[in-house]
Structure formats: C-alpha cells, structure tokens
Amino acid sequence: MKPQSEMRSKSSREMIRTIGLHAVLVPLAIVWLFPLWMMMVFSTLPENAIFSAQIQWLPGTHFWANFEQLQADTGFLRTLFVSIMVALVYTVLSVFLTSMAGWALARYHFLGKGMVLAIILGTLTLPYFVVVIPQFIMVARDFGLANTWFALIVPPLFNSLGVLFMRQSFSMMPGELFDAARVEGVKEWKIFLFVAMPMARPTIAALCIILFLASWNNYLWPLLINNQPDMMTAPVALGSLIGLTRVSWGGIMTGAVLLTVPMLVVFVLLQRHFVAGIAAGAIK
C-alpha cells in the first residue's frame, strides 16, 4: 500500500464529486439569474434596441432616459414614495400587533385561547380571495375609504403567520425570565415591552423583512382599493403600464429595476435574517 497515491485517489474522488456538483448548479444558477440580468439590461436600452433582431446581452446607456420618461409620464417617484411609506408603516404596526397577540397566546392562560388559536391556524389555509370582495365592498363603499393610507395599510394588517411566528418565539423563551421580572414587581406590559420584545429581536428582524417584502410586493389589494394616480403603489403603477404604448418597455423595466434592486440589496445585506425568517415562518 502506498499511502501517497491512495490519498490522491481519495481526494480525486472528492474532486469528481465537486465537479459534478458544479456542473449541475452553475448552469442552473445562470438560468435563474438570467431574468434578473435581462431586467437590468432592458432597463438600460431604448425601445428600438429591445425590439431589435439581435439579442442584447449587455446593458446600454439609456437608463436615465428611460427613467426620465417613466417619471415624466407616470410620476413613478411618487408611487415609490407611497410604496415605501405604506411598507414602513405597515411593517411597524404589524410587528406590534402580531407581537402583542403572539405574546398573549404564548404566555397567558385565558378563556377562549384555544378558539383564538384555532381561528388563526384556520385562516392560514384560507385563500385571501374569500375575504377580498367583502373587504373591498366594506372599505370602499361602506367606509368610503378607497384611496386612503388607511385602506392601503390597515386591512392587510391581519397576519396569522406573524402571530404564530411571534408566539413561537415568545414561548421558546424561558418562562423563568418573566417570572423573575414578576417577582421584581414589573408590570405585565413593561415585561412585554422591555423584556420580551428586546429578546425577540432576531425574530422581529426576520419578521420585519418578511412583512416589508409582503407589503412592498402586494399587488391585488392596492390594485383594487386605489384608483387615483397619487395613491398608487409602485407595483400597481408598473402593472398598469404593461401593455401601454405610452411608456416604453425600457421605462417599464426601469421601474421594475427600481422595485427590485432595493429589495435585492436588503436581501444580500440581511440574508441571514431573511432566510431564517422564511424558514421559521414555514416550519413554525
């Protein structure tokens, strides 16, 4: 037995596996990145270059021109502003609402707790469509709140997943911690605010990202509840441009890039929380 050559054979087996792995993954990864790349490319091209006989693999120089046209024709910056505001306020409110509910469900015994939990679990499997029509009728017609910040932000606040998520996080915390505070005479709401919430920070970070993303990309509800350009969210505005000749496809792609790139940056920066959030949200 010659150890040296044997060793080579062992590592060469590993080599083959490494190559096989990358032979599968690299092409797939390219396919998966391709639409994103094309989005960037399209956003920098003039209309006639997008609809030309050649494939445009590389970005051009038309980004600003596309953006200016998009902005001039639709006031896209305003819609971005609306989207950001809605997503921010929604996220903050939702985090508090779901945390409070999750806290109550995790840490207290009270009459009706089982029922509340059952309902929340039940709504998880309930398609949103079941409520969208009456929700629309109610908010728009009965409350007369179409085209308002309220309509954009408040109805989507109900979020079962967030509650379960926070409940899980709170019930994982050792109960002794809260007992310790109780023995020290700290009020319940102070325990929630100053002990439980800070401890749930990683969960809350993950939740924030998920909620922000959900709001940022929400399409159906803002599409229905708004018909005024100055209260449109960016995805709705962009969606309304598809199939319109007035704004070039370069402009639409510029909008798509503006919608996507910030999220991608956040994704890269907070990948850990993101992944944790999605995983935890699904696994419970």
Partner 1 sequence: MAGVTLKNVVKRFGSVQVIHGASLEVEDGEFVVFVGPSGCGKSTLLRIVAGLEDASEGEIEIDGMLVNDVEPADRGIAMVFQSYALYPHMTVEQNLSFGLRMNGNPREDTNRRVQKAAEILRINELMKRRPKQLSGGQRQRVAIGRAIVREPEVFLFDEPLSNLDAELRVQMRVEIARLHSELGTTMIYVTHDQTEAMTLADKIVVLRDGKIEQVGKPLDLYDDPANQFVAGFMGSPKMNFMEASVKSASNGSATVKLVNQGGAMITLPVSDGPAVGDRVTVGVRPEHFRAAGQGDCDIDLNIDVAEHLGSTSYIYANTKSGEQLIVEREESRSEVGLEKLTASIPAQQAFLFDAQGKRLN
Partner 2 sequence: QSGELTIWSWNIAASSLEAVVEGFNAQYPDISVRVDDLGNQQVFDRLLAGCAAGGAGLPDIVSIENHEAEIFWAQFPDCFVNLRDLGYTEELASEFPDFKRTELEVGDAAYAMPWDSGPVVMFYRRDFYENAGVDPASIQTWDDFIEAGIAIAEANPGVTMTRADLNGDTEWVRMIGNEQGCGFFSDDGSAITVNQPGCVAALEKVKEMVDAGIMTAADWDEKIQANNAGTVASQMYGGWYEGTIRSTVPEDQHGLWGVYLMPSLDANGPRAANLGGSSLAITSASQNPEAAWAYVNYTLGTNEGQVTMLREYGLVPSLLSALDDPYVSEPLEFWGGQAVWVDILGTLDDVVPSRGTPFFGDADAIVQAAQTQYINGAFESAQAALDDAASQIALVTGLPIAE
Partner 3 sequence: MRARNRIAYGFLAPYLLIFAVFWIWPIIYSFYLSFLSTRAVPWTWAPHMNWGRLWIDPAFWNALRNTLVILFIQVPVMIALATLLAVLLNSQLLKARGIMRFAFFAPVVVGEVAYAAVFRLMFNADFGVINKILTGVGLPAVSWFSNPTAAMALIIMAVTWRWVGYNAIIILAGLQSIPDDVYEAATLDKVSKTKQFFFITLPLLRPIILVCVVLSVIGTMQLFAEPFLITNRGGPGGATETLGLFLYRQGFTVLNFGYASAVAYTIAGLAIIISLINFWLGRDPK
187 belongs to the binding site for partner 1 (CB under 8 A): yes
CB under 8 A, 24+ apart: contacts of 49-55: 50/248, 50/249, 50/250, 51/249
Residues 262-281 that bind partner 3 (CB under 8 A): 263-264, 266-268, 271, 274-276, 278-280
Listing DSSP states for 155-217 in one string gives GGG--HHHHHHHHHHHHHS-HHHHHHHHHTT--HHHIIIIIIHHHTHHHHHHHHHHHHHHHHH
Least separation, in Å, of the C-beta of 154 and partner 2? Answer: 16
**Partner in contact with 256, chosen from partner 2, partner 1, partner 3, none, beta carbon below 5 to 8 Å by kind:** partner 3
State the Rg of the chain over Cα.
25
| Residue 71 binding: pick among partner 2, partner 3, partner 1, none (C-beta 5-8 Å cut-off by kind) | none
Helix and strand totals (H; E) in the chain: 16, 0
Binding to partner 3 in span 32-61, by CB under 8 A: 32-33, 35-36, 38-39, 42, 50-56
Question: Per-residue x/- mask for partner 1, residues 199 to 228, rule CB under 8 A?
Answer: x-x---------------------------
Tokens of 103: 């806290």
Interface stretch with partner 3, choices 3-11, 58-66, 69-77, 110-118 (CB under 8 A) = 110-118
Show the tokens assigned to 255. Answer: 């909008």
Interacting positions 115-174 with partner 3 (CB under 8 A): 116, 119, 123, 125-135, 137-139, 154-155, 157-158, 163
Stretch that binds partner 1, among 183-191, 228-236, 252-260, 276-284 (CB under 8 A): 183-191
The verdict on 240 binding partner 2 (CB under 8 A) reads yes
Among 41, 80, 101, 140, binds partner 2 (CB under 8 A): 140
Q: Which does 98 bind (CB under 5 to 8 A by kind): partner 2, partner 1, partner 3, none?
A: partner 3
Determine if 224 is a binding residue for partner 3 (CB under 8 A). yes
SS3 226: coil
SS3 content of the chain, % helix, strand, coil (to 5): 80, 0, 20
Which residues contact residue 260 at a Cβ distance below 8 angstroms, ignoring those fewer than 6 apart? 36, 39
> Is 146 one of the binding residues for partner 2 (CB under 8 A)?
yes
HSE at residue 132, side-chain half, CA atoms within 13 A, is 11
How far apart are alpha carbons 22 and 29 in whole angstroms? 10
| 147: region left, alpha or beta (phi > 0 left; psi from -120 to 50 alpha) | left
Total of residues contacting partner 2 (CB under 8 A): 24
The residues binding partner 2 (CB under 8 A) are 48, 51-52, 136-137, 140-141, 144-147, 224-229, 231, 240-241, 243-246
The residues binding partner 1 (CB under 8 A) are 1, 3, 6-7, 9-10, 174, 176-177, 179-187, 190, 194-195, 198-199, 201
